[in-house]
Structure 1
Amino acid sequence: MGGCFSSNQEANDAKQLPTNWEKGSYPHHPSILISDEFKFGDNLDHKGITFTKDGETAHGVVQFTFRELATATKNFCIESFMGEDDFGCVYKGRLERSGQVVSVQHRHRICDQGIIEFFKEVMKLSLFHHANLVNLIGYCTYGDHLLLVHKFVPLGSLKDHLHDLLPDQKPLDWNTRMKIAVGVAKGLEYLHKTSNPSVVYRDLKPSNILLDEGYQPKLSNFKLGKHTPFDNLTSCPSFRVDGTYTHCAPEGPIIFDSDVYSFGLIFLELITGRKVIDYTRPYEEQCLVYWARPLLKDRKKYAEMADPLLEGRYPPKRLKEALVVAAMCIQEGIAARPDISSVVAALTYIASSTYDPNA
């Protein structure tokens, strides 16, 4: 956690902001979806902005002052620290003027992101609005500090509920797993088919899937450097395990079909409860794909693939259908994989038959 905010400098900054910062002297990027009609005075009430129930504004995203975010996070104290992601340190906070609970991401200085690039990212993020995405609320720039503000997602990540269960925590049941799978697929479908520009997500993994109330999944941590399948990507952003990009397709994260492959791995994790790479298992079972592919060729063995924590509480027919979808998604050949809309249709059908363990 050291290095997220060094010593007490930033806490002091929050108390000693220069007057010209509060007066809105930092220029707005012309592409940002924010009205020019308001300025930030000493009262910090953001005149001209109206918060909706979901924390969005009629003008797009909100430009917060550093003081507001320092106050919201109690000067970025250890009690507010939620963790560290690919971009920086994340803090939980409560906005003083609205009472809304938010997550505040403070970008690492080592990411070497310039102010113009940051504003471009804010502009792009402000364009995405979907029930299965973590939508942007606002941002802040202060000196070399770059911060993004998102709605707080209270239930943690899919990784927490699938691979890092606490001793007193119940495992996800079948219906919830299928609900999560449908939501993740719909989020990808929005990015692939509806958003403008369309986006190759490129980094689908359990820690980037956050769970809202009712286990509504939301995709987070967009990699917005590239948008179309024709961009020349040379590396996979997903985390590495001994040199292996665990959730990447064989061809790399370069096209929409690569996201479908990554989704297939996530779906297999939901069904089996296994990690994509798990060195605690016997050698032949350490890689989920290599373990699963032989079993997927024999439907008589499908029951062996179900997560033992489900304790048999799942509909056998729907399990088979789900594994067929997963098998199609993780085909090595790009042309053999379904597009994400076909995946959404199949999963919506599977999830429509809820399982009643007492029936």
Structure 2
Amino acid sequence: MAVGEGGRRVLLLLLLFTSNCILHWMPVAVNGNTDPNDAAAIRILFQSMNSPSQLGWQANGDDPCGQYWKGITCSNNRVTEIKLSNLKLTGTLPYGLQPLTSLTNLDLSSNNLGGGIPYQLPPNMQRLNLAYNNFTGSIPYSISDMTSLTDLNLAHNQFQQGLNVNFMKLSTLSSLDLSFNLLTSDLPQTLSSLSGITSMYLQNNQFTGTIDVLANLPLENLNVENNNFTGWIPEQLKSINLKTGGNTWSSGPAPPPPPGTPPLPKSNRHHKAGGGSTTTSPSDAGSSNNMSEGSKKSGVGGGGIAGIVISIIVVGAIVAFFLVKRKSKKSSSDLEKQDNQSFAPLPSDEFHELKSVPPSSITEMKTFETSASINLKPPPMDRHKSFDEDELSKKPAIVKKTVTSPANVKSYSIADLQISTGSFSIDHLVGEGSFGRVYRAQFDDGKVLAVKKIDSSVLPNDLSEEFTEIVSNISHLHHPNVTELVGYCSEYGQHLLVYEFHRNGSLHDFLHLSDEYSKPLIWNSRVKIALGTARALEYLHEVCSPSVVHKNIKSANILLDAELNPHLSDSGLASYIPNADQVLNQNAGSGYDAPEVALCGQYTMKSDVYCFGVVMLELLSGRKPFDSSRPRAEQSLVRWAAPQLHDIDALTKMVDPALKGLYPVKSLSRFADVIALCVQLEPEFRPPMSEVVQALVRLVQRANMSRRTTFGSDHGGSNRGSDEPAIHDV
């Protein structure tokens, strides 16, 4: 059939419109316009992984969506998936991936990637799989804000420290795998917020504490094998696929829940085939279906019905209470006396049963009782008799947490310490720190010890039990380079710690206080002090369980004995004193503060590493961490020195003039390399203390320092005679 001129025009317009639409709908395939931010992020990732040839990516390419790039999936012009599993990739995971806001799946598992995980990851990921690599450091806190996560797999790496993630926002997370790492400390309480979690794998780590926080999660699979968990396995978890071997669980029946605790909910756990099943009593069997159907229609579940029943009971109790009160002929003064008596003494059998409840349960019980608006307990048996001391002793309030005195340290009296310190006279004062003053104590038997008198502003007078617990914790710290706790005193509201005494004072005094009778520290001694202090921190961070963050590393807290061996003081004190962080933050501006501490006041093992780097800078330069007497550009030691640490000419000018050039240049350079690692601005790039120790040991070994030259009798005030030749060998 012939088509007229008008028909041909219509067909032509349709063809043009269709082709234009196709070109408009398919910009990726035709024009290859990948989002520039996404393209830049992919290039950064490519370079960070050492530009692997096996991927076939274009080194200078800018169109991973328009062209075929292995492992890259796009939607429109945005990268949505990166799957590069088992490709023998090396390198690190870089900063700069945050612009990938459409990325939902990142799988780099089963490769040879290492280093730390950057803080800024793509924010909208649903699945993150970095398993079977060599990642180190801590798990970044920024994972807390990845609210779309459903699967997180960081297994089979070398992650360390505690699990510093806030799980409050991760309600969609269904699978969490942290197995086969080096994670420590107790499980965070925010894990209890994972309302969608079904599988959790924590095996083969170094976690401590209990797993009570997992009790009410809707888990179907849980593996906590080969950790340092203690306590009881919650009953709620025994009906799921559970693996618990290789821990130190408590034997015997678990303690009862505190009075007033409602029964455990049975509707919050998913039961699949093979899992545990709920049971119903015969009286409930016939009506269970109807009740379930009715609950669905009305919107009232089992919890709502229970609430109605409890409300009826409470209303009935209130009515009964007021009826009894109305019938009572007691005078108003007697009633007032009765109100002041709080609760009636428990019968003897109830009292003995209550004593078996653990302290935490007692605390919860007391909170429950005191928060009740109506006292439903019976009145005392004898209404006309007020409580005496015997009756007060029967009250539940006295059944509280008690801390036994540490058995491995001595308890001193105030009188003993007053005599030995001349009533804490100024003549016996040897130092003053963030938590109190330190006095030299001379005892009748000739023993000399150091007494630290903790300020009442740091630890109030009424916290005697807390102080005893602090003493107990510190008394378990034993290392040749950690100042040993010998005893304590807790009398008349005073809190004192008694330590071993080191006659050569602090490293700060050696470096910064001139003394015409003593010689400066020689290079060998400085290396020795750095290595010993590093070993002390390695012990606190990586040997102690749970790990101990010192929080107050500075040259004034490094004490030197007669052989100039370093001993780190105040270890554990800031970790166990309540509100210690606030006390330390008041002393900001000393030059030791890591950037993240100055920013948000949070102390971690990485901030300890930074402070240790500052101490090493003091050893190298002889300068104070912050010196307002110097020119403005040189007042902050780290800011002034850090840019020069890799410049050998600038480095030699930076060295402490007191050394008078008596140091080996190679040893100095390696020493500076360790400092540069420790004082990096980003905490995740700072090495763990075990690596710092290894680096300092290699420094000594490469220099072939003999034991005599490394740990010789260079006592600061001694002549250098025999040591000077060895200096040039270090």
| TM-score where L is the length of structure 1 | 0.77
User: CA shift at 1:232, angstroms?
Assistant: 11
- Does the 8 Å CA contact 1:179/1:351 hold for their aligned counterparts? no
Asked if structure 2 preserves the Cα contact closer than 8 Å seen for 1:29 and 1:119, the reply is: no
Give 1:291's aligned amino acid: W
Counterparts of 1:343 and 1:236, CA distance in 2? 28
Q: Describe how 1:20-31 pairs up with structure 2 within 5 A.
A: 30-31=403-404
Structure 2 gaps, min length 5: 1-400, 710-722
CA-to-partner distance for each residue in 1:314-349, whole Å, 9 max, x for gaps? Answer: 011100010011011111122221110010011122
Tell me which of 90, 104, 112 is aligned to 2:451.
Answer: 104
Question: Which aligned pairs between 1:316-335 and structure 2 lie closer than 5 A?
Answer: 316-335=665-684
Residue 110 of structure 1, CA deviation: 2.6
1:162-173 correspondence to structure 2 within 5 Å? 162-173=511-522
RMSD of aligned residue pairs (Cα, Å): 2.4
Structure 1 residue 202, shift from structure 2 partner:
0.8
Q: Structure 1 pair 112/239, CA: closer, same or farther in 2 (3 Å)?
A: closer
Matched residues, percent identical? 38
| Pairing 1:307–2:656 present | yes
Task: Provide the C-alpha distance between the structure 1 equivalents of 2:680 and 2:583, rounded to a whole number of angstroms.
Answer: 19
Range 110-119 or range 296-305, more displaced: 296-305
Task: From the superposition, tell whether residues 225 and 320 of structure 1 become closer, same or farther in structure 2 (CA, over 3 Å).
Answer: closer
Q: 1:64 aligns with which of 395, 404, 412?
A: 412
Tell me if the contact between 2:406 and 2:468 (Cα under 8 Å) persists in the aligned partners.
Answer: no
Which string of whole-angstrom CA distances, capped at 9 and with x for unpartnered residues, describes residues 205-259 of structure 1? Answer: 11111111211111112354547xxx9996582674xx52521211115221111
For residues 574 and 522 of structure 2, the distance between their equivalents in structure 1, rounded to whole angstroms, comes to 36
Instruction: Give the whole-Å Cα distance in 1 for the aligned partners of 2:431 and 2:638.
Output: 29
Partner of 1:14: none
Q: Take 2:435 and 2:663, find their aligned partners in 1: how far apart are those partners?
A: 38
Q: Which residue number corresponds to residue 584 of structure 2?
A: 237
Report deviation, 1:308.
Answer: 1.1
Residue 343 of structure 1 corresponds to which residue in structure 2? 692
Aligned to 1:177: 526
1:109 aligned counterpart, secondary structure: coil
Describe the shift of the 1:143–1:233 C-alpha distance in structure 2 as closer, same or farther (beyond 3 A).
closer
Q: 1:346 to 1:238 in 2, by over 3 A?
A: farther
Matched, 1:197 2:539: no
In terms of mean alpha carbon deviation, does 302-311 or 125-134 score higher? 302-311
- Is the aligned partner of 1:32 residue 2:405? yes
Name the CA shift for 1:190/1:118 in 2 (closer, same or farther; >3 Å). Answer: same
The 8 Å contact of residues 574 and 580 in structure 2, kept in 1 or not, is answered as no
**Aligned residue identity for 1:222:** S
Show CA shifts across 1:129-185 (max 9, x none). Answer: 111111111111221222111111111111100011223321111000001000110
Higher relative contact order (CA 8 A, sep 6+): 1
User: Does residue 271 of structure 1 match 2:620?
Assistant: yes
Q: Distance in 2 between matches of 1:31 and 1:349?
A: 44
Question: In structure 1, which of residues 85, 104, 127 is the aligned counterpart of residue 433 of structure 2?
Answer: 85
**Whole-angstrom CA distance in 1 between matches of 2:496 and 2:580:** 26
Flag the 1:266–1:236 CA change in 2: closer, same or farther, 3 A.
farther
What pairs with 1:200-215 in structure 2 (closer than 5 Å)?
200-215=549-564
Q: 1:147 to 1:155 in 2, by over 3 A?
A: same
Structure 2 residue 423 is the aligned partner of structure 1 residue 75: yes
Among 639, 659, 673, the residue aligned to 1:290: 639
Give the corresponding residue for 1:7. none
- What letter matches 2:518 in structure 1? Q
Distance 1:149 1:236, change over 3 A: closer
- Segment of structure 1 superposing worse, 61-70 or 169-178: 61-70
1:8-37 deviations in Å (ceiling 9; x for gaps): xxxxxxxxxxxxxxxxxxxx9534332xxx
8 A contact 1:104–1:148 mirrored in 2:
yes
Which structure's CA Rg is the greater one? 2
Where does residue 46 of structure 1 map in the other structure? none
> Is 1:118 matched up with 2:467?
yes
Q: Distance in 2 between matches of 1:189 and 1:342?
A: 9
Q: Secondary structure at the match of 1:167?
A: coil
Equivalent position SS for 1:358: helix
Letter in 2 for 1:80: H
The secondary structure found in structure 2 opposite 1:185 is helix
Q: Residue 250 in 1 paired to residue 595 in 2?
A: yes
CA deviation vs aligned residue, 1:39-70 (integer Å, no higher than 9, x gap): xxxxxxxxxxxxxxxxxxxxx00111222222
Cα distance in 1 for residues equivalent to 2:564 and 2:586: 24
Aligned residue pairs, count: 301
Cα offset, 1:304, TM superposition:
1.6
SS state at 1:93 partner: strand
Which amino acid in the other structure matches residue 450 of structure 2? S
Q: 1:223 to 1:245 in 2, by over 3 A?
A: farther
The amino acid that maps onto 2:503 is: P
